[in-house]
Amino acid sequence: MIKKWFLGLSLGTSLIVLSACGGADESIENENTQPETEQQAPSGGENAAQPEMPEPDLEGVPEVVAEVNGEEVSKEEFETAYTGQFQQAAMQAQMSGQEIDQDQLKNQLAESMVGQKLLVQEAENQELTASNEEVDETLEQLAQQNGLESKDEFLTALSEQGMAEDEVMSQVETQVKVDQLIAEAAGDTKPSNEELKAAYEQVKAQQEQMGSEEELPAFDELKPELEEQVKMQKENEATQTLVAELREKGDVTINL
């Protein structure tokens, strides 16, 4: 599981927005609706039929899925990423009872991978560098997110799944550089109190719309989470703008 997560999000949360329809606004919604969904899942009763887990449809994927300024997105790397994305989508579909539009999912992933290539290329063009301290800090964060005690445990877990340390370090260095690129594009992302209150009201409205009887925590109690969400929203918006600018200037072809 760790390896799939790492490969899928190797460039951090800044890339999630490129493949998500709703962007950061959904992040707040999902954070607050997911527990409700998990509580509702068993309410269908033990006799409710569990839908069969679908399989990823990889038929017809071209050898070169996309070309980005002369750099290719290969069939192999696309299929690896798609399998991971599909598994997540299939689990969500099982809970919601909705069907997966695999053509849409493939196109979203292709767009996401194109955006990823553009960001990495721009980071290299700007000759950004990743210090040892920044790499270590990112590894520690990844370890914590995977429920591990240290970066050494994280590297060991990946090694056991066949991912060489050099490969991991290379991806983490790339992540650090892209994070620097996005931070520069986003500028000051510290939210104002008005923005936080607006985000809180949005969460409250979503909860009321869902008909949830669970009492929403007070504003001050949710403030740290709201700060993180608003900051992420600003970074996502900056990422979308930057990718659009790079794509406009670049030479991009998607072959799906």
Average of per-residue pLDDT across 109-132 = 93
3-state secondary structure of 71: strand
Q: In what order do the strands lie in the sheet with 64-68?
A: 71-74, 64-68, 252-254
- Average pLDDT of every residue of the chain: 80
Contact 179, 14 (CB under 8 A): yes
pLDDT tens for 15-60 read 333 333 333 344 334 444 343 434 444 444 444 555 567 788 999 9
Q: Could you tell me the pTM of the whole model?
A: 0.74
Average of per-residue pLDDT across 191-214 = 89
Sequence spans of domains, the chain: 60-127+191-207+217-255, 128-186
For the four alpha carbons of 215, 219, 221 and 224, in that order, the dihedral sign comes to: positive
Choose the weakest-confidence range: 75-84, 145-154, 232-241: 145-154
User: Which secondary structure element, helix H or strand E, spans residue 110, and what is its range?
Assistant: helix 102-125
